[in-house]
């Protein structure tokens, strides 16, 4: 049985409706995106391995647990940058590796333009950060690159996803888990997620144009 993709929580519902609202300011959009990324991270990192350790409290020595795996954050430029800081707050020792891929609006195909992922010493777990999983083409290119690097476990963390994108990821990479705040209805003729939230990068970085 496939695991549920949507991560349900009242706080997720609240901040997601703020993201969707076209009246939300860029500052409020960024804040809600960060909070949603934090909430998604709890689910995406639930199975990280830990090892037992000891710590000295002001009163005595006691046992505890610490993370035992190297974790890599892979934001898909540029919109994925909105999700990096909250993950680093939770995992300060995480490595951040950048991949630049944009969607050609005329063909809806991913275009590769920047790659800072190394070729040796792969991380144990990679979290692909992309606010919108639409066609799935972009994240599949990212997963292909991480597979070539040798990463054994990959998770996709998105704010919203379309059924078409989920289907593509499951077809090409059935072992990769997806976590999202919501699975929307479908893609329109322009391959935009409906109802969606607009262009996450433009809204978060205040570069929207009034040419819709």
Does residue 210 carry a catalytic annotation? no
Does residue 202 carry a catalytic annotation? yes
Does residue 103 carry a catalytic annotation? yes
> Strand, coil or helix: what is 120?
coil
From the candidates 50, 53, 107, 207, which is the catalytic residue? 107
Can you tell me the distance from the alpha carbon of 128 to that of 143, in angstroms, rounded to the nearest whole number? 8
- Both tokens of 144, joined, read 């292909």
**Beta bridge partners of residue 71, listed in sequence order:** 125
Evaluated on CA atoms 173, 149, 153, 114, the torsion sign reads negative
8 A C-beta contact, residue 177 and residue 155: yes
179: left (phi over 0), alpha (psi -120 to 50) or beta: beta
The kind and range of the H/E element at 46 are none
8 A C-beta contact, residue 141 and residue 111: no
From the candidates 78, 103, 147, 170, which is the catalytic residue? 103
Does residue 199 carry a catalytic annotation? yes
Active-site residue set: 103, 107, 199, 202
């Amino acid at each position: 049985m496939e695991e549920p993709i949507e991560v349900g929580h009242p706080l997720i519902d609240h901040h997601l409706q703020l993201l969707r609202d076209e009246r939300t300011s860029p500052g409020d959009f960024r804040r809600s995106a960060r909070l949603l990324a934090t909430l998604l991270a709890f689910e995406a990192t639930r199975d990280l391995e830990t090892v037992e350790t000891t710590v000295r409290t002001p009163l005595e020595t006691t046992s505890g647990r610490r993370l035992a795996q190297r974790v890599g954050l892979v934001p898909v430029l540029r919109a994925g940058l909105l999700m990096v800081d909250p993950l680093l707050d939770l995992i300060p020792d995480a490595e951040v590796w950048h991949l630049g891929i944009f969607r050609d609006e005329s063909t809806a195909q991913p275009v590769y333009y920047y790659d800072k992922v190394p070729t040796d010493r792969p991380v144990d777990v990679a979290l692909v950060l992309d606010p919108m999983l639409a066609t799935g083409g972009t994240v599949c290119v990212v997963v292909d690159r991480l597979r070539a690097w040798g990463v054994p476990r990959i998770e996709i963390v998105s704010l919203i996803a379309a059924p078409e994108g989920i289907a593509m990821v499951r077809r090409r990479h059935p072992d990769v888990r997806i976590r999202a705040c919501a699975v929307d209805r479908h893609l329109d003729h322009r391959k935009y997620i409906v109802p969606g939230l607009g262009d996450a990068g433009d809204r978060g970085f205040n570069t929207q144009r009034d040419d819709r």
